[in-house]
A and B are shown apart, each in its own frame.
Chain A
Amino acid sequence: EAGVAQSPRYKIIEKRQSVAFWCNPISGHATLYWYQQILGQGPKLLIQFQNNGVVDDSQLPKDRFSAERLKGVDSTLKIQPAKLEDSAVYLCASSFNRGIGYTFGSGTRLTVV
């Protein structure tokens, strides 16, 4: 089966600019996750979708981050305006409803200068 697709693979922006990341999960996976992985740390959940509804966004900095999952398939994560501390790898993952089989994408490495 095809994996979780993410784009772009790399992105460099200046602080205060905006940026968007895209994720296409495994076909049929109802649950989609966005994780932020800062260098030297483990991934931290930003937001979890169940179909097109938000289950958990408690760690999402809502003053600058937003995410949507239209039609319960693809998802976009946006940062506006970006800060230096947003430099990280943004990983997308998907799973069946309550499944413990997670499939991760290769992530987007964001550098804010």
Chain B
Amino acid sequence: AQTVTQSQPEMSVQEAETVTLSCTYDTSESDYYLFWYKQPPSRQMILVIRQEAYKQQNATENRFSVNFQKAAKSFSLKISDSQLGDAAMYFCAYRRVSSGGSNYKLTFGKGTLLTVNP
């Protein structure tokens, strides 16, 4: 079974600074998707960034970028120029590429609570 581990329960960063959130995962599959989701107090999961495992290039979305190390099974999220609105729980998630199957579930880590200090 696939597992996702986030080893940092809490992180803090000063506004305008850069912070990196860590995530490791375990899988025997060669092709899969990895995600970072943000969950503010409103509880709705919001997609931050997505990475396809077959792509060597790291995904970027504005101030958000990932460092995807497939061999090490590591998928960290870097937030540049942190803003007060970035404060939230961040979850790393995994999904297999279901070729022939139909199970498209996301497997989540336990999350990292990010605090942004003004």
Chain A contact residues, CB within 8 Å of chain B: 3, 31, 33, 40-45, 48, 50, 55-56, 89, 91, 93, 95, 98-102, 104-107, 109
Q: Are B104 and A95 in contact (CB under 8 A)?
A: yes
Size of interface on B: residues with Cβ below 8 Å to A: 23
Q: Which 6 A-B pairs have the closest CB atoms?
A: A42-B108, A104-B45, A107-B43, A45-B105, A106-B44, A106-B43
Q: Give complex CA distance A44, B108 in Å.
A: 7
Q: Which residues of A contact B43 (CB under 8 A)?
A: 89, 91, 106-107, 109
Q: Known A-B contacts: A43-B45, A55-B102, A55-B103. Give 17 more (CB < 8 A).
A: A31-B104, A33-B105, A33-B106, A40-B110, A40-B111, A41-B110, A41-B111, A42-B91, A42-B93, A43-B91, A43-B108, A45-B105, A56-B103, A91-B43, A95-B104, A101-B47, A106-B42
Q: Give complex CA distance A40, B19 in Å.
A: 21
Nearest residue in A to B93 (C-beta to C-beta)? A42
Nearest residue in A to B42 (C-beta to C-beta)? A106
Nearest residue in A to B44 (C-beta to C-beta)? A106
15 A-B pairs with C-beta separation under 8 A: A40-B111, A41-B110, A42-B111, A43-B45, A43-B91, A44-B108, A48-B103, A56-B103, A91-B43, A100-B50, A100-B104, A102-B45, A102-B47, A105-B44, A106-B42
Q: Which residues of A contact B91 (CB under 8 A)?
A: 42-43
Q: Which residues of B contact A91 (CB under 8 A)?
A: 43, 45
**Chain B, interface SS category:** loop
B99 to chain A, nearest CB (A): 9
A88 to chain B, nearest CB (A): 11
Nearest residue in B to A107 (C-beta to C-beta)? B43
